[in-house]
Amino acid sequence: MVEIRTPIEVDDAIRRVMQHAVKGEKTSIPLEESHGFFLAEDLISDHAVPPFDRTRYDGFAVRANDTGNGLSKLEVVGEIGAGSIFEGTVRENEAVRIMTGAEIPAECDAVIMLEHVEEKRQDGKTFIEFTRKLTSFENITKTGEDTKKGEVLVQKGTYINPGIMALLATFGYSEVPVVKQPIVGIISTGSELLSVNAALEPGKIRDSNSYMLIGQIERAGGIPVSLGQFADELEVCYDQVVAALEKIDILLTTGGVSVGDYDYIPDILKRLNANVLFNKIKMRPGSVTTVAEVDGKLFFGLSGNPSSCYVGFEMYARPVIRRFLHMEKPYLKRLRAELGADFPNANPFHRFVRGKLVYENGKVIAVPVGLDKPNIVTSLAEANILIVLPGNKEGYEKGEQKTVISLEEQSGVTWGDWLKGGELV
């Protein structure tokens, strides 16, 4: 009655899943709607920045050679607003009034700030007087000082944040090449599940995993589609999965993967002739995560336990979504942090403990949330890391340096960096 499953290592599981990850199609959207999408192509500068020698301050464009020891007195022969250019020629001992950001006249090579001059009218002409000696290019940003033309400024697969929107605008991307987001289907299983608006009944709980997964899918960059609950009969469940696979890029189920009497997932996968990549992993929670490949699409059988479902998604489904979005660094960031609590119990399993990062005087501390509550959903609300505790015989002590996995960042790491990220489990 009890099926024997062979657990595999976490990194091995991730590697197997990613061998079947596919990249999504490209499309484009208007720049003003691009926040939170992922670039489908490298962002390239179509011109130098600044595109011309530009003043950093309001003031007067001058020739540095005209300034020197003692008082300089220059005639103001014109003015340049931002966005205008000076049409004339600036001769010796002449200056041009210039606004922040405007282009420096060809003959000038320095700017004296407005605050540093005295203006005088004399014989119907305007003069400025100052004592400062200027050096060539003082207060000027040179052409291309920020960026050369043709430079790759942002790699494809990068999350579009406000700074990247500014770059896209600067380089003329009124339409932004982005990746079509993967459609990620969710089927929940379990006859103990009530819908959210149902009153509680003896022995039953409300379905929380499918809503949690909606949030996780959106955070990862996918489009969630709720496909309801599995029926009670195997035949109908099978049809549901077949119908779902037509509509989605990635399929998730939650519940029904533990070794028990009413678990249909293994039977469904067998009938689908699926390539089961693994059905047990050396970790807790999430050890009974099953992943299979069906006709080129990935099927994630996540646990019905909220913590296991959460961790299983982040560890195995999220990199697949990130790869779909063409991200060059689809893996979760790992970092080292100091344990903020004792973990006294020996545990033969590698544990992934929900926690949050706290910064204290330049140190990073990993504080567990809801540690003593095994099935808790409340702890998931606060969690922004998973603390990695390799299986051992002694437990761990507060203050030890351990690896944690960051959950809320929109940037990631390469496979090489993931492996270098700390202790592997």
Site for a copy of itself in 326-385 (CB under 8 A): 335-338, 359-364, 370, 373-383
User: Of 44-73, which residues contact a copy of itself (CB under 8 A)?
Assistant: 47, 49-52, 54, 56, 58
Distance CA 103, CA 80 (A): 8
CB of 118 to a copy of itself, least distance (A): 11
Sole binder of a copy of itself in the list 127, 278, 310, 352 (CB under 8 A): 310
Q: Check binding of 311 to a copy of itself (CB under 8 A).
A: no
Q: Are 31 and 170 in contact (CB under 8 A)?
A: no
Could you tell me the smallest distance in angstroms from the CB atom of residue 293 to a copy of itself?
25
Name which position in 27, 93, 161, 392 contacts a copy of itself (CB under 8 A): 161
Among residues 19, 69, 122, 197, which is the contact residue for a copy of itself, using CB under 8 A? 197
Strands 183-188 vs 193-194: parallel, antiparallel or unpaired:
unpaired
Q: Is 118 in the site for a copy of itself (CB under 8 A)?
A: no
Compose the 402-421 pattern: x for residues touching a copy of itself by CB under 8 A, - for all others: ------xxx-----------
Tell me if 147 contacts a copy of itself by CB under 8 A. Answer: yes
CB of 202 to a copy of itself, least distance (A): 5
CA distance linking residue 12 with residue 284, whole number of Å: 16
Please give the backbone phi and psi of residue 310, each rounded to the nearest 5 degrees, phi first. Answer: -60, -50
Selected binder of a copy of itself within 210, 229, 279, 287 (CB under 8 A): 210
Whole-angstrom CA distances from 331 to 320, 328, 351, 412 are: 9, 9, 19, 5
Question: Which residue in the set 5, 20, 21, 211 belongs to the binding site for a copy of itself (CB under 8 A)?
Answer: 211
Of the chain, the end-to-end C-alpha distance in Å amounts to 30
| Region 13-32 residues binding a copy of itself, contact defined as CB under 8 A | 31-32
Task: Decide whether 105 or 294 has the Cβ nearer to a copy of itself.
Answer: 105
Three-class SS state of 56 = coil
Are 335 and 421 in contact, with CB atoms under 8 Å apart? Answer: yes
263-302 residues in contact with a copy of itself (CB under 8 A) are none
Q: Which amino acid is at 83?
A: G
Q: Which is nearer to a copy of itself, 224 or 368 (CB)?
A: 224
Nearer of residues 288 and 294 to a copy of itself, judged by Cβ: 288
Both structure tokens of 168: 């896209």
Token pair in block for residue 107? 């003959």
**What is the distance, to the nearest Å, from the Cα of residue 388 to the centroid of all Cα atoms in its chain?**
21
Of 12 and 75, CB closest to a copy of itself: 75
Q: What's the rounded Cα separation, in Å, for the pair 255 and 257?
A: 6
Distance CA 91, CA 105 (A): 11
